[in-house]
Amino acid sequence: MVALSSLTSPLISQTTVELIADYDAAIGFHDNFNTANNNYGTASQNAAYTIPGTNGGVNVNRALIHFDLSGLPEGAIITQAQLNLYALGQTGTLNGHSGENNQAIINRIIESWQENTVTWNTQPVTSDINEIYTNPSLNSLQDYTNMDVTSMVQDMWSSDNFGFMLQLVSEIPTEVLLFCSSDHIDSSKHPKLLVEYMEPSFVTTTENDFEAQILPNPNSGTFDLQVAHAIGNNQPLIEVFTSHGQLIQQMVMQTTKEKITLPHLPNGVYSLRISTGDRSSIQRLVIHQ
């Protein structure tokens, strides 16, 4: 395998969409105030905090955030997703992000919930698969942008989409993260999800194409590659491209069926071109460890 330089033009095209949270909700409980059954679907904040309670105990808050993925084309291949949350600043007695270690965790929600009815006591179940951790804040007004949630959004797209949950890693006083919700007066600070995808028709073949097959697909980087028949007396050249058209590996196919191993490739969608002379076939290759 030989690593080569980038191509001058992309082999395949990408589409990026910006999605604004279509609904979100705060959930929380405040000791000695019996708030665990209260709904806060219209709160202007998506917060994760634990602070001392007014009359003892603690006041804990988490956030649920949902983005509508239904506008993506059927069969779209999501290659990247980034979550952007924008600082709220001072609200009530809280002065924005604060605490010595206000690291948070973002999980995928795996059961349905309703913005106008969900409470702390009825909060939905989450999955720890592909969860991400944020860094502690650097200042009280720090925006958290370009958070890589690709794997979670791919899971939402391939199964059920119930959104994200934001909560502190350690829910002990006093740690605070305060972000704007979709109900905040400043719409430019509403939660955003940037989704990059390829449409299912992105894989094309040349006019003089031939049949080729990758099994299994998706795979972990090891797969069988088979062409339907011998292609003249030439040994087919295999080239692997990133989703942006960068040529990253190449090799020569010795027979019409071979086991291929591509170690250390990150999860994502690649393009594999098999060519000999003026004939070629381009196949979609999905790596998912």
246 DSSP assignment: B
Q: For position 192, what pLDDT does the model report? A: 98
Q: What does the angle CA 211 – CA 212 – CA 218 come to, to the nearest 5 degrees?
A: 140
Residue with tokens 């999905």: 286
124 DSSP assignment: P
Instruction: Give the whole-angstrom CA distance, residue 152 versus residue 252.
Output: 35
pLDDT (average), residues 143-164: 93
Q: Residue 78 to residues 75, 84, 136, 152: CA-CA distances in angstroms?
A: 9, 17, 28, 11
Q: For position 1, what pLDDT does the model report? A: 25
pLDDT of 208 > 90? The answer is: no
95 CB neighbour count, 10 Å cutoff? 13
Q: For position 142, what pLDDT does the model report? A: 98
pLDDT of 12 > 90? The answer is: no
Q: What is the pTM of this model?
A: 0.73
Q: Strands (DSSP E) along the chain, which ranges?
A: 15-20, 23-30, 45-52, 58-66, 77-85, 90-91, 94-95, 104-109, 126-133, 144-148, 164-168, 175-180, 192-198, 212-215, 222-227, 237-241, 247-252, 257-261, 268-276, 279-287
pLDDT of 11 > 70? The answer is: no
CATH T-level topology, domain 203-287: Immunoglobulin-like (2.60.40)
Domain with CATH 2.60.40.10 in the chain: 203-287
Helix (H) or strand (E) holding 206: none
Query: Which tens digit of pLDDT belongs to each residue from 227-261?
Result: 876 666 677 888 888 766 678 888 888 888 889 99
Instruction: Give the whole-angstrom CA distance, residue 94 versus residue 140.
Output: 10
The model's confidence at residue 76, banded by pLDDT at 50, 70 and 90, is confident
Position with higher pLDDT, 277 vs 96: 96
The model's confidence at residue 2, banded by pLDDT at 50, 70 and 90, is very low
Q: For position 206, what pLDDT does the model report? A: 39
Instruction: Give the whole-angstrom CA distance, residue 46 versus residue 86.
Output: 9
Instruction: Give the whole-angstrom CA distance, residue 208 versus residue 146.
Output: 42
Instruction: Give the whole-angstrom CA distance, residue 144 versus residue 104.
Output: 11
Give yes or no for a cis peptide into 216 (omega within 30° of 0). Answer: yes
3-state secondary structure 18-51: EEECCEEEEEEEECCCCCCCCCECCCCEEEEEEE
Q: For position 230, what pLDDT does the model report? A: 60
Query: Which tens digit of pLDDT belongs to each residue from 48-57?
Result: 999 999 999 9
